[in-house]
């Protein structure tokens, strides 16, 4: 039986634009921008000041607390400024700006080939923390925190989220195709600190090549299995992913660890490999630059902090003028209006579309077709929640499980009346969460 | 590059499926195409005209109403087309055009737009309009034809006589019925299309038809019927297939939750069973669905799906507690809130009152305006009937015109008492007696040739009223119906010359009916499949004869 969940949608995949394109190393020339908040938790504290010289891999901002992550320079050059800069979220965040000297002079990294069996939990966590690794699927939860659950023995599954269910994105797929050994080694390192856990690499079945090659490499490995999942959005949503692979259900108030699981994105696992085996901090990631407005869609290994503008130019610039630019995938990515924003640890893609499907349609009245309920992976009633949200009835909104929404966007996608369901619900969720925090 | 770019910003998701509301509506129209085509083939150009009129007037009324209300005209969403088409498919094939227009206006303006337009109506507009038309124009709405001949629907025949028409023609649709309901085959083709395109979910129709079939099977066994045939006739007959696949599945008026759809289907199945078997009419689908529509909010309330991971984990998140300041705000708020509530309630009451008064006034004015013409038409019809049943008379003078109204009433009471208490008539009653005279009223020394007796009696479909002419010698001169509301194609055949003429020219004490072919003078051939109607008519004529005998005429 295929691993999957109930609900979901099948949007146009668009992966054919870049799925066969090898990862190209991208060398930025212009200024680099490092927002101090590229993760969930406290912002990092800058360690440099204007005029300082920095090298590749140098820590330029340290973790601002336990739930936080440090930031390293990805180029060599001079600190130009520490100022507010626009990010993909649409907000201005304090950022370290470095003038890139184009030489990419690096600090020295210390490789470590301690056998897996001899790796200690403390060293691994310390190295991951020092490397500033955060969840690279987008959420940006600091990895060392994720790997330090309250009850270590309760963790029995380490899941590598290679579903890459967002349309257009191929960065994880290319990593798996080009550096499968590193990814597997990364997973083995995590498994080494969770002796009671099994590893799962979960991949959607629209990537048969990756499934086959990984299965070949892992033949005979009893601790790691490769799961082929049904291709469906949002197969990679954390809670749905856990359910699809283990049959365990968790609600919005729980952590994956409550179901004995820890979930990591492919690039995160790769970063763990880099940190533990090569001693390299997180300074780059794979970014898919794609969409029908891009001249030469491609996958790039991008130094974090690079400007989106430069990256688009590296992909040949625009073939057609785009109507919409998105940081991330089309389902959960963020629309951006300024190409100066930097690539951060969570940027998986830059998507340029010649047509904005959202603006193309006008919102109509709900005809109660029930499609939103059918596709909702959270099994809530989006049309009802949206109505309650618009009425401002927060109490009923929570009673009807509004907080269980994961904002995946399926309801908005499928709605024939083109109602902005996700947006309405997400807005109300944020308001309620803000009130809870107060 | 930046200056040239005109980038749009919106919240995720940034892609949308291609399906739109109008696509769905269009798919429904497409799915109804086979049934529509068959209906037009079966019932001819007039049915086509009805379909066109319904669609055009639904679209027209929607556009007109929205324009008048200063709203955006949304006829482009095709929903009015669907309503118009569904309404037409639910109409008998020879309904007067203006009634179809009235039905369309009711569907669009009253049921849909007054409640807020698309997505807000609490009842299926097409079905509500159909039921409105049945209540308003019962005779026209139950007037069915097949091959140009007035015929009862198979379901009506089944209910009244227990006879089952050819199942093959019922499945294929070669029977009487509304324009779109006859062909099960054509409707199923459309249903499969809707299922395949995932426009409708199987739950409502399958549970609806399944529950109905189960109830019919149990009932059939209990009654000792030939269950397979009885069941097949009920499944293929009437509006079940049209209703279950195309009307009960209407998004707006059916439950949105999966469990709700199942409950709704079962409810409709049971209700249709009860209405068809125990109700006054042979049909039950339309009423079941609009009654079902009313309980949809309730069904949805109790079938909210369990959220992903609900009930997992130790601590459930508590709903947001009102913070201190809010609590304070809340303390001040009640008075204001209560005032707002009262205001809202008052406004609603006022609005409803205004609408009621307005509608009442319109009805009152209509009544006033039409009262006299209706009375005069009725009088003319009566006079016509009187002449028809006593053609030899030169003048017919009602008893109350010959004497006083009080005298006439007193006399009538006496006659009816005698008829009931002594002659043993149960339901037949004389309501008027008129003298059939040689010369017109006002002539001196007028000779009484006989009487015209107006009798009412209970038929199968309610009261019937007929005029019976009886000569002084007791010879029945003729009978004529002033009102009759029997089953089309069965009881309604009483109102044919072939049947009525059987009484003519006979001088007997009492008529009897037979099902085996009349041999004696006083025997009448019963209408097949309408024993109750035949009894009612025969009884009424006998009452008239008895009345004339009491008056001193006859033998």
Residue whose C-alpha is closest to residue B200's, from B141, B135, B274, B251: B251
Consecutive 10-residue averages of pLDDT for chain A (438 residues): 85 93 94 93 93 94 92 95 91 94 92 89 93 88 92 92 94 94 94 93 93 92 92 91 92 89 94 94 95 95 95 94 93 92 93 90 92 93 94 92 92 95 94 87
The whole-number pLDDT of residue B403 equals 77
Give the nearest chain B residue to A393 (CA atoms). B320
Q: Note the pLDDT tens digit of each residue in B49-106.
A: 999 999 999 999 999 999 999 999 999 899 999 999 999 999 999 999 999 999 999 9
The whole-number pLDDT of residue B341 equals 61
- CB within 8 Å: A416 and B21: yes
Contact A376, A410 (CB under 8 A): yes
* Mean pLDDT calculated for residue range B404-428: 84
Residue B112 has pLDDT above 60, yes or no: yes
pLDDT level of residue B358 (50, 70, 90 thresholds): confident
Residue whose C-alpha is closest to residue A305's, from A118, A72, A128: A72
The whole-number pLDDT of residue B413 equals 86
- CA torsion A45-A346-A355-A28 (nearest 10°) is 70
- CB within 8 Å: A322 and B306: no
* Token pair of A76 as six digits: 């060599």
d(CA A280, CA A270): 11
- CB within 8 Å: B307 and A416: no
Q: Note the pLDDT tens digit of each residue in B172-187.
A: 988 889 999 999 999 9
The whole-number pLDDT of residue B336 equals 58
Residue whose C-alpha is closest to residue A257's, from A266, A246, A267: A246
* Mutation for testing the B interface, residue in A337, A402, A416, A433 having most B CBs under 10 Å: A416
Determine which helix (DSSP H) or strand (DSSP E) holds B236, and give its type and residue range: helix B227-236
- The more confident residue out of B180 and B336 is B180
Task: Phi first, then psi: give them for residue B538, nearest 5 degrees.
Answer: -60, -45
d(CA B464, CA B468): 13
Complex-level ipTM beyond the 0.95 threshold: no
* Token pair of A17 as six digits: 């634009």
Residue B464 has pLDDT above 60, yes or no: yes
Residue owning tokens 């925190």:
A145
**C-alpha gyration radius of chain A:** 21
pLDDT level of residue B326 (50, 70, 90 thresholds): very low
Residue B268 has pLDDT above 60, yes or no: yes
- Closest Cβ opposite residue A404 in set B20, B23, B308: B308
- Closest Cβ opposite residue B9 in set A335, A339, A412: A335
pTM for the model stands at 0.77
- Closest Cβ opposite residue A416 in set B6, B12, B24: B24
The whole-number pLDDT of residue A171 equals 94
- CB within 8 Å: A394 and B317: no
**How many residue pairs bridge chain A and chain B with CB atoms within 8 Å of each other?**
199
Residue B554 has pLDDT above 60, yes or no: no
* Token pair of B349 as six digits: 């009451």
Q: Note the pLDDT tens digit of each residue in B287-321.
A: 999 999 998 998 888 888 888 888 776 544 444 44
Q: Note the pLDDT tens digit of each residue in B525-535.
A: 888 878 888 88
Number of helices (H) and strands (E), helices first, in chain A? 14, 17
- CB within 8 Å: A398 and B74: no
Residue B2 has pLDDT above 90, yes or no: no
Residue B492 has pLDDT above 90, yes or no: no
The whole-number pLDDT of residue B309 equals 85
pLDDT averaged over chain B?
85
Chain A positions in Cβ-Cβ contact with residue B308 (cut-off 8 Å): 239-240, 243, 249, 251, 377-380, 404
pLDDT level of residue B283 (50, 70, 90 thresholds): confident
- CA torsion B165-B167-B169-B171 (nearest 10°) is 130
The whole-number pLDDT of residue B332 equals 46
Weakest mean pLDDT among A325-339, B13-27, B273-287:
B273-287
- CB within 8 Å: B4 and A253: no
Prior bond of A234 cis (ω within 30°): yes
For chain A, domains (ranges, CATH) are: 28-103+283-353 (no CATH), 116-278 (3.40.50.11540), 371-437 (no CATH)
Residue B356 has pLDDT above 80, yes or no: no
Residue owning tokens 């269910």:
A165
> How far, in Å, are A165, A407, B342 from residue A233 at the CA level?
5, 12, 48
Q: What percent of chain B has pLDDT over 70?
A: 93
Residue B324 has pLDDT above 50, yes or no: no
* Mean pLDDT calculated for residue range B489-497: 83
Cβ neighbours, 10 Å, residue B485: 16
The whole-number pLDDT of residue B335 equals 57
Contact B448, B412 (CB under 8 A): no
- The more confident residue out of B397 and B95 is B95
- CB within 8 Å: B7 and A325: yes
pLDDT level of residue B459 (50, 70, 90 thresholds): confident
* Mutation for testing the B interface, residue in A249, A363, A403 having most B CBs under 10 Å: A249
The whole-number pLDDT of residue A421 equals 95
* Token pair of B370 as six digits: 């039409």
């Amino acid at each position: 039986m295929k691993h999957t969940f109930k609900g979901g949608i099948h949007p146009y995949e668009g992966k054919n634009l870049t799925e066969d394109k090898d990862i190209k190393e991208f060398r930025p020339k212009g200024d680099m921008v490092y927002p101090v908040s590229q993760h969930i938790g406290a912002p990092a504290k800058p360690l440099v000041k204007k005029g300082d010289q920095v090298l590749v891999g140098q820590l330029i901002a340290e973790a601002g607390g336990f739930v936080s992550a440090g930031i390293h320079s990805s180029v060599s050059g001079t600190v130009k400024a520490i100022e507010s800069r626009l990010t993909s979220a649409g907000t201005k965040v304090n950022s370290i700006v470095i003038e890139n000297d184009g030489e990419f002079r690096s600090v020295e990294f210390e490789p470590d080939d301690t056998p897996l069996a001899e790796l200690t939990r403390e060293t691994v966590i310390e190295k991951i923390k020092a490397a500033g690794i955060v969840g690279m699927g987008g959420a940006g939860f600091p990895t060392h925190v994720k790997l330090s659950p309250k009850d270590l023995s309760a963790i029995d599954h380490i899941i590598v989220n290679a579903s890459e269910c967002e349309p257009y994105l191929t960065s994880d797929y290319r990593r798996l195709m080009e550096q499968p050994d590193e990814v597997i080694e990364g997973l083995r390192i995590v498994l080494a600190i969770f002796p009671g856990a099994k590893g799962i690499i979960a991949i959607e079945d629209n990537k048969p090549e990756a499934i086959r090659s990984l299965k070949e490499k892992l033949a005979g490995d009893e601790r790691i299995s490769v799961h082929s999942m049904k291709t469906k959005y949002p197969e990679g949503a954390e809670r749905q992913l856990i359910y699809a692979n283990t049959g365990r259900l968790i609600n919005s108030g729980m952590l994956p660890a409550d179901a004995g699981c820890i979930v990591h994105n492919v690039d995160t696992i790769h970063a763990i490999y880099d940190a533990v085996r090569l001693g390299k901090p997180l300074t780059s990631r794979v970014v898919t630059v794609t969409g029908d407005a891009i001249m030469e869609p491609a996958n790039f290994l991008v130094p974090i902090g690079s400007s989106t503008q430069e990256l688009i130019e590296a992909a040949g610039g625009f073939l057609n003028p785009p109507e919409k630019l998105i940081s991330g995938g089309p389902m959960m990515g963020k629309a951006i209006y300024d190409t100066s924003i930097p690539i951060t640890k969570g940027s998986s893609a830059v998507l340029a579309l010649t047509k904005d499907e959202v603006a193309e349609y006008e919102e109509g009245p709900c005809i109660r077709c029930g499609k939103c309920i059918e596709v909702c992976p959270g099994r809530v009633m989006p049309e009802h929640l949206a109505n309650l949200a618009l009425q401002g009835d927060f109490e009923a909104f929570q009673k009807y499980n509004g907080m269980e929404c994961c904002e995946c966007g399926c309801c908005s996608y499928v709605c024939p009346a083109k109602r902005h369901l996700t947006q309405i619900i997400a807005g109300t969720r944020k308001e309620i969460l803000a009130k809870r925090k107060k | 590059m930046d200056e040239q770019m005109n980038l749009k910003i919106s919240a995720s998701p940034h892609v949308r499926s291609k399906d739109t509301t109008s696509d769905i509506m269009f798919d429904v129209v497409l799915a109804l195409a086979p049934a529509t085509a068959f209906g037009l083939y079966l019932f001819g150009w007039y049915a086509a005209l009805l379909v066109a009129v319904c669609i055009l007037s639904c679209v027209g009324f929607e556009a007109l109403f929205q324009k008048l209300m200063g709203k955006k005209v949304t006829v482009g969403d095709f929903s009015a087309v669907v309503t118009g088409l569904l309404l037409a498919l639910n109409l008998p094939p020879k309904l007067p055009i203006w009634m179809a227009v009235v039905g369309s206006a009711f569907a669009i303006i009253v049921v849909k737009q007054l409640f807020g337009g698309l997505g807000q109506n609490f009842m299926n507009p097409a079905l509500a309009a159909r039921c409105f038309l049945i209540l308003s124009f019962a005779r026209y709405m139950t007037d069915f034809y097949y091959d140009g001949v007035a015929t009862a629907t198979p379901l009506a025949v089944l209910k009244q006589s227990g006879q089952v028409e050819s199942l093959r023609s019922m499945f294929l649709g070669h029977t009487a019925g509304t324009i779109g309901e006859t062909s099960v085959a054509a409707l199923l083709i459309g249903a499969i299309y809707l299922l395949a395109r995932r426009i409708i979910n199987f739950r409502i129709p399958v549970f609806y038809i399944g529950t109905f079939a189960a109830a019919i099977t149990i009932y059939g066994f209990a009654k000792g019927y030939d269950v397979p045939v009885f069941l097949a006739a009920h499944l293929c007959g009437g509006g079940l297939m049209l209703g279950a696949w195309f009307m009960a599945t209407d998004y707006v008026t059916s439950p949105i939750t999966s469990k709700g759809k199942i409950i709704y289907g079962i409810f409709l199945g049971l209700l249709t069973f009860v209405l068809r078997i125990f109700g006054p009419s042979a049909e039950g689908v339309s009423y079941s669905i609009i009654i079902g529509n009313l309980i949809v909010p309730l069904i949805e309330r109790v079938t909210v799906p369990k959220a992903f991971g609900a009930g997992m984990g130790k601590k459930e998140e508590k709903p947001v507690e009102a913070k201190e300041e809010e609590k304070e705000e809340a303390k001040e708020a009640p008075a204001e809130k209560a005032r707002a509530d009262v205001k809202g309630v008052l406004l609603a009451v006022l609005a409803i009152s205004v609408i009621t008064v307005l509608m009442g006034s319109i009805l009152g004015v209509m009544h006033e305006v039409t009262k006299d013409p209706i009375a005069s038409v009725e009088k003319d019809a009566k006079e016509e009937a009187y002449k028809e049943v006593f053609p030899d008379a030169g003048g017919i003078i009602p008893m109350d015109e010959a004497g006083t109204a009080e005298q006439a009433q007193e006399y009538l009471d006496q006659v009816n008492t005698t008829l009931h208490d002594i002659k043993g008539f149960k339901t037949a009653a004389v309501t008027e007696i008129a003298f059939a005279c040689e010369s017109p009223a006002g002539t001196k020394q007028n000779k009484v040739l006989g009487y015209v007796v107006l009798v009412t009696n209970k038929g199968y479909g309610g009261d019937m009223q007929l005029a019976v002419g009886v000569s002084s010698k007791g010879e029945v001169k003729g009978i004529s119906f002033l009102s009759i509301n029997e089953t089309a194609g069965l009881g309604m055949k009483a109102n044919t010359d072939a049947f009525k003429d059987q009484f003519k020219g006979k001088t007997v004490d009492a008529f009897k009916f037979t099902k085996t072919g009349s041999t004696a003078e006083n025997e009448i051939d019963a209408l097949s499949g309408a024993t109750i109607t035949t009894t009612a008519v025969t009884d009424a004529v006998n009452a008239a004869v008895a009345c004339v005998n009491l008056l001193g005429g006859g033998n």
